[in-house]
Amino acid sequence: MINFKNYKALSFDCYGTLIDWESGILGALRPVLLTHAIHLSDDEILELYSGMETEAEEGEYVEYREVLNQVVRKIGERLGFVPTPGELDCLAKSLKGWKPFPDTVRALQTLKQSLRLAVISNIDDDLFALSAKYLKVEFDRVITAEQAKAYKPSLHIFKLAVARIGVAPERILHVAQSTYHDIRPAKTMGLSTVWLNRRTGKKGFGATPSASARPDLELPDLKTLVSIMGVGQ
């Protein structure tokens, strides 16, 4: 069992961990697909997104807005349609409306009482600012792909995060939903990890690729994390 007293800082992935990005992705992509008479299940849409996003992030660094546009373009190529300019921008435009999970805000506010909080996210600075207003907590550090010019699971963004958080890796606990983007590289960096399995009870890996990783702890939500840490009690 993790000894939570060992940690001075908690770092979080944002989208999929704090923000319900799968609902946001589906809300943006489903209308586009239906316009082109394409009927897919939620799981099929999320699996498509996962593959296309990973492909777009593996090449030379581009801003996340462009990654999202490439996702829609690649989905069109795969399914046989050409997205309109408005459709290409559907994900980036919808992101400002993606909301936190029901337990996110209260958990962050409670954890902030006794720990430094950081975000490590595959996002542009201005796009994260649109989400930050929903999170209602002041993070001590926000490290983005735009700052690192690299996307997780690249270790470069984690190295930048550790340097900016200013705490030894063994004193940082990283909390994330994606084993591919977060748990495996964070463990490689010497961080302890909590796999926040937001898809508990669901099939597949949703909007993220599968990856073999061994987190220090697996939990279904942030409410449970706060409870077992005993913060605010």
- pLDDT at position 233, please? 55
Bridge-based pairing state of the strands 9-12 and 172-176: parallel
- Catalytic residues, by residue number, are 13
Integer Cα distance of 15 and 206 in angstroms: 12
Q: What is the dihedral of CA 94, 143, 102, 27, to 10 degrees?
A: 20
pLDDT given for residue 232 in this prediction? 63
Q: What is the pLDDT of residue 204?
A: 87
What are the mean pLDDT values of the chain's consecutive 10-residue runs (233 residues total)? 92 98 98 98 97 95 98 98 97 98 98 96 98 98 98 98 97 98 97 96 91 95 95 66
CA distances from 159 to 70, 86, 88, 115, 175 (A): 27, 36, 32, 20, 16
Structural domains present in the chain: 4-20+99-229 (3.40.50.1000), 21-96 (1.10.150.750)
pLDDT for 59: 85
Residue 231 has a pLDDT of 80
